[in-house]
Each structure stands twice: as structure tokens, then as C-alpha cells.
Chain A
Amino acid sequence: MAAYENAIEIKGLTKHFDGFTLDNISFTVPKGSIMGFIGQNGAGKSTTINSLLGIIKADSGEMKMLGMDSIKDENTIKRDISAVFDELPFHEQLNAKMLDKMLAHIYSTWNSDTFFGYLKRFALPEKKKFAKFSKGMKMKLQIAAALSHGAKLLIMDEATTGLDPVVRSEILDIFMEYLQDENNSILMSSHITSDLEKIADSVTFIDRGKILISGYKDDILASHGIMKCTKEDYSAVSREDFISARVTDFGAELLVSDRKAYAKKYSGAVIDNATLDDIMIYYVNRNKKEWK
């Protein structure tokens, strides 16, 4: 495998559906990092991931994974990547032993010991049919399968959605362990931003098929802020200076994208830290500009 800097490189990805267009998406996931891919439901996260994985065909654009072209070198790439979906993609009549036998003959690098090690760690039964698994067990099983063939890139589509905080925390720990190897990378789509705030190195925010922000999480959190002011002060703020504003009877809260500059411009204004959740909500309402 050739040396590469970015685990994922997407340039100008476009996919048109009736009523939805993934519009010229571009972003990169640096090797050895975890990227959070956030956006509300229907923003285009799954479409991007499915295009990347070859589940759907993109209309145009260039995609590279592990330094190779995702279409030309599809089969080579797929030996070294793993996908985890929000729902278990295995038949409910199967059990973990059967799955091991099946995947051992699909992946040349499959390691049964690792797989059964994860099963033991997650307390998953080997002979119980998947139909009888809970949602958390199914997700753990998918992760166990994904990490048992030495994948260099893990792509997850809403993998932690619907799980309780205990299971989510357990899974996030596994990801942190996985990232101990600097050759491993993760792209994780989710709308549970608190998880990403904990573990993500970088964040890409997509809305209505367009990338709005992409960069290092710390930089994004450092540059954005929530400016709190009274209604009178709010009326004095130029509309170009904020992304959107939440106006209530008590005052207004504005999301600003360059905290330092606005602190200087509006001296005396209180600018609090913004969370990824805040950033997502304020950006989603950017067209309304003002909302309650």
C-alpha cells in the first residue's frame, strides 16, 4: 500500500436524488484521526457515506480512501476498511459462531481470536441468534466484526444512535483504543454531538447536502461563540455579523463565527463557548436568521 496522508479524501462529490442533492461535497479525514460527520436527519450524511462505500453510485466527484481511488481500487480498499451501520446488516437466524466462519472466509486477514476476544469483552453470547440480541448487543457485534480483520479505516453511519449512555461510552472507549495505532482512522457520522465532542479530532458539518464547516474540532469550538445580549443591543448588531440568532422575551443569543473579532467589535458583549450542538442548531437556522 502506498504512503498516504489522508485516510479519506473527497473532492466535489455530487449525487442527485428527486428532492435532494448532495452538492459538491469536499473534505478530508487525516490519517490517524477521528472525524465526526454531523448534521440533522436528511442532511446527506448517509448519502455521503454510502457513496464513499460504493453502496450508491455518485454522479460525479473524486473519492480516495487510504490513498487509493475508491472506484478503481475498490476491492483492494475494501480489504482494509470496515463499515458499521445503524442497523445490524446480518441475518437474524445467524449467530456469532456462524458469522465468524462466514467472515473468516471473506477476509484473508480475519482474526477469530480477536473476534471472540471482543465478544467476551462485550459479554455477547456466541450461540444466541441475532434475532434475540438487543440494539446495544447488535451494535457491539457489528463493532466486534468491524475490528477483527485489521481494518485501517472504520466508517460508521449513525452507529451510536439509539444506544444508552453506558453502551455509548463503552463503544467510544473501544474507538479510542483502536486509534492508539496511528495508522487507523475513523469517520463517524452522528447527530449525537456530545459523543463527538468527547472523541473527535476534526468535525465536518453538513446541512441540506452542503458542507458548512470542516476542520479541527478545537479550532471550530474556539472560533465560534454564543453572544448574549438584550433585545436593544441585538437591534444594534449588524445581521452580517452572526450566523443566526435565538430571540426570546428576555433577550437574544447569537452564534458568531469569529469570536475574537466580535469581542473586539462589540466590546463588553458576553460571548460564551459554543458546543457542537449549538453550532449545528444555529447553522441549521441560518436562513431564517432569527428564530425562537
Chain B
Amino acid sequence: MKGLMYKEWFLSKKYRVITLSIYVLMLIMCILVRISSVCGNIANMEGKGMLNDTFFIIMGLALPAVLCGMSFTSQTLNDEKCRFRQYSHTLPLTEKQIVGSLYIFNLIMLGIYMLAGWLNYFLACAVFGKDIDLKYLLYIFIIGILFFTVCCFNTLNAYRFRSPKICAAIIASTCIIAYHGLAGAFVYLMYSYCKDRGYDLFADDSDEEVPDALIIDFNEDLSRCLRWTGTHFCWLIVLAVAALIYFSFRRSVRALERRGS
């Protein structure tokens, strides 16, 4: 198992170099923007413009997270491409060890990327002279875990279908369905919320416009509801994510156990 983790380490070198370069570039940009704001005429550093510290932090995290995900999936597909998957069946390793090494390695890498993301945030705060807001650390953690979960799902497809095209098609359709599902749920909630208060959003003959205050109230209520769920049922979310990762792992093992034809 350790041997396979070494293999993943050697193969992910390209992604590590890119990630590190992104962090360094982000930091250099932070410093340059800070210098410009102090010595030059850039006045959009107070959180109103796009070029603020949040932008740097999110970009500095999201890109490495995407790269980490790409590396995770490409490892499986590369094994297939160079016939290492075939060869791995001749090694004294079980399917659990083969798949497990990939999952554990990427979980460790995700941890390292998260730490690097936090470090990047601390440095950005130091450069901008801002107080450290712990919620950013949480954002970094949540984005990382969500990406990891998506990647687990994609890795499962890679083991199952052994084709980059099918994997891309499945992940794209899942994202489209999830996006439209969430958008639909949001519209339905808003529609029900307004209807309960005497406004029909979709009525053709309605001359009355929905007051802005109602929309604001809806947004606030929804945020409150989500916050409440997050506070009281965060264990459920953690459990769901863990279950999804475990399910992907088990199914990946099963797919590998099927042995090719």
C-alpha cells in the first residue's frame, strides 16, 4: 500500500508544482496590490471591489482544490491507460489496498492543500493588515471536503467505466441536474413563501409587484433556516459526506474486483 502511495506521490508532482506556483503567485499579487494601494492610486481594497482579499483567498483555494480533484481522477484513468491496472492484479495487494492507497493519498494531499490554503490566508491577512476571520478557515475546509466528495464520485466512475469521456459526461450531467434541482427548489420555496403572504409570483393577471421587502424577508428566513440546520444538524451533513466517500470507496473496490475482460 505504501508502495502505491509512493507511486501517487511521484505522479502528482506536476499538480503539486502548479498548486505551489498558484499560492506563490497569489501571495505576490497580494503584496503588489497592497503596495499599489499604499503607494499608488488603487482604492478598491476595502472589500467593495472585486480585487479584495476574499478574491485572492478564494482563488488561491479553489484552483488548488480543482487541481487536487483533477489529479485524483486522472490517477485512476492513467492507471488504466498505461495498463498499470492490469499489472496491479499481479502484485501481492488486495483491491482494498489498491483503491485505499489512492483515497488515503488524496485525503492526505487535501489536508496539505488545506493547510497551505490556511497559511495563504494568514499571509494574505498579514499583508493586508486584517484580522484573521475563522470563518474563512471553515470555508476553505468545506470547499476542500466538497471537492473531495465530488472527486470520490468521479473516481468511482473512472473505476467503473474506465473511460475519461464517460466520466466527464457523468460528472457534467450530475452537476447540471444538481444545479437545476437546487435552482428549482429555490424557486419553489420562494413561490410558496410569497403565496403564503398573498402574492402569486407566476400569476399572469397579477398587476401587483412583489415588494422588495418580501424578497429580503425570504432571503433572511432562508439564511436563518440554513444556519439553524447547519448548527443543529451539522453532524448529519458530516455523516452524509462521510457516507458518500465510503460508498464511493466500496463501489470502487467492487468495480476493481470485477476484473476486466
Contact = CB atoms under 8 A, between A and B. Distances in A.
Interface residues of B, number: 27
Nearest to B93: A106
Interface stretch (B81-89, B231-239, B245-253): B81-89
Interface residues of A, number: 31
A102 interface: yes
Contact of B90 (A55, A93, A104): A55
B90 A107 contact: no
B259 interface: yes
Interface stretch (A77-85, A180-188, A214-222): A77-85
Given A56-B261, A85-B86, A107-B92, A94 B11 contact: yes
Interface string A88-118: 1111111000100111111100000000000
A94 B260 contact: no
Given A78-B91, A91-B78, A91-B84, A55 B4 contact: no
Nearest to B258: A57
A34 to B, nearest CB: 19
A251 B91 CA distance: 54
A288 B4 CA distance: 51
A53 interface: yes
Interface of B: 1-4, 6-7, 10-11, 13-14, 78-79, 82-84, 86-87, 89-94, 258-261
Interface of A: 17, 50, 53-57, 75-76, 78-79, 81-83, 85, 87-94, 98, 101-107
Would you list the 5 A-B pairs with minimal beta carbon distance, nearest first? A105-B3, A89-B87, A106-B3, A78-B92, A83-B90
Given A89-B84, A94-B10, A102-B3, 5 more contacts: A53-B89, A56-B259, A85-B83, A90-B82, A90-B84
